[in-house]
């Protein structure tokens, strides 16, 4: 007879979803989900607490690793990092927000494909450098920007980083997802594959993602040019009527 699989431990996933939807403290949600999962799996409470404590001790340095770069970035921003980035990019007359983001997308995909995923990211690259540079390039061409356009540029800068990282790291042969697919196909279906072959077949997808997002960025440039030119004309008309 086949052993009955206990699916009750999956209730921990529901606890995480509910906790995040209710916007509870993430650490508290994870701890509660771990306890709920352990109880549902009939693990003694003492063992559950022991595993939680061991996990905390094993990752106690992770907080320092994550928070130290944020502190450094915050200190640089306080001393004018964003303003210097905007000033520097404004000196390049031919650059637009779309062209700048296309260049960053290409670099992000290439570096992610080489396994250098930490070279970019929202806290250390998008917020302090990339988004202000996109704003500076647009201001250099069209003058003062509306809050809506600033938010749109920030969102597109963040999206560019996401696209470059997501599709670039799929080409890296030691990426966790590639190794997972290799092991899954071998164990579940008996299909023998090489991680290198899986990574190579990620290249067409990465190229398509680059082309599609580059087209979106070019279209964004055209939309911004039309909108800001119209706003400038309306401002001049209103000024002339006065």
What does the chain look like in DSSP terms, one character per residue?
-PPPP--GGGHHHHHHHHHHHTT--HHHHHHHHHHHHHHHTT--HHHHHHHHHHHHHHTTTHHHHHHHHHHHHHHHHHTTHHHHHHHHHHT-TT--HHHHHHHHHHHHHHHHHTT-GGG--IIIIIIIIIHHHHHHHHHHHH-S--HHHHHHHHHHHHHHHHHHHHHHGGG-TT-HHHHHHHHHHHHHS-----HHHHHHTTHHHHHHHHHHHHHHHHHHHHHHHHHHHHHHHHHHHHHHH-
Q: What is the per-residue pLDDT across 123-168, written as a single tens digit (0 to 9) for each?
A: 888 988 899 889 888 888 888 888 999 999 999 999 999 999 999 9
Identify the pLDDT of residue 140.
Answer: 84
| pLDDT at 66 exceeding the cut of 70 | no
Query: pLDDT: is 120 or 177 the higher one?
Result: 120
Identify the pLDDT of residue 1.
Answer: 42
Identify the pLDDT of residue 69.
Answer: 64
pTM above 0.95, yes or no: no
Domain ranges of the chain: 8-58, 80-241
Question: Mean pLDDT across the chain, nearest whole number?
Answer: 82
Q: What is the per-residue pLDDT across 10-55, written as a single tens digit (0 to 9) for each?
A: 888 888 899 888 888 887 888 898 889 888 888 888 888 888 777 7
């Amino acid at each position: 007879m086949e052993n009955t699989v206990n699916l009750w431990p999956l209730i921990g996933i529901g606890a995480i979803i509910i906790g995040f939807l209710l916007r509870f403290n993430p650490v508290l949600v994870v701890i509660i989900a771990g306890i709920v999962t352990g109880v549902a799996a009939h693990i003694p409470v003492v063992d559950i607490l022991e595993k939680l404590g061991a996990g905390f001790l094993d990752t106690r340095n992770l907080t320092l690793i994550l928070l130290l770069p944020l502190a450094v970035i915050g200190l640089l921003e306080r001393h004018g990092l964003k303003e210097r980035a905007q000033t520097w990019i404004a000196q390049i007359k031919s650059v637009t927000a779309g062209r700048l983001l296309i260049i960053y997308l290409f670099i992000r995909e290439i570096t992610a494909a080489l396994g250098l995923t930490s070279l970019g990211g929202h806290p250390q690259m998008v917020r302090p450098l990339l988004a202000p540079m996109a704003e500076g390039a647009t201001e250099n061409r069209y003058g003062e920007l509306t809050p809506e356009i600033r938010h749109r540029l920030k969102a597109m800068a963040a999206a560019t980083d996401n696209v470059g990282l997501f599709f670039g790291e799929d080409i890296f042969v030691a990426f966790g997802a590639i190794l997972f697919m290799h092991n899954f196909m071998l164990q579940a279906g008996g299909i023998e594959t090489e991680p290198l072959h899986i990574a190579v077949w990620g290249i067409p997808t990465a190229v398509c993602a680059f082309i599609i997002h580059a087209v979106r960025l070019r279209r964004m440039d055209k939309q911004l040019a039309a909108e800001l030119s119209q706003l400038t004309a309306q401002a001049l008309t209103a000024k002339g009527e006065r």
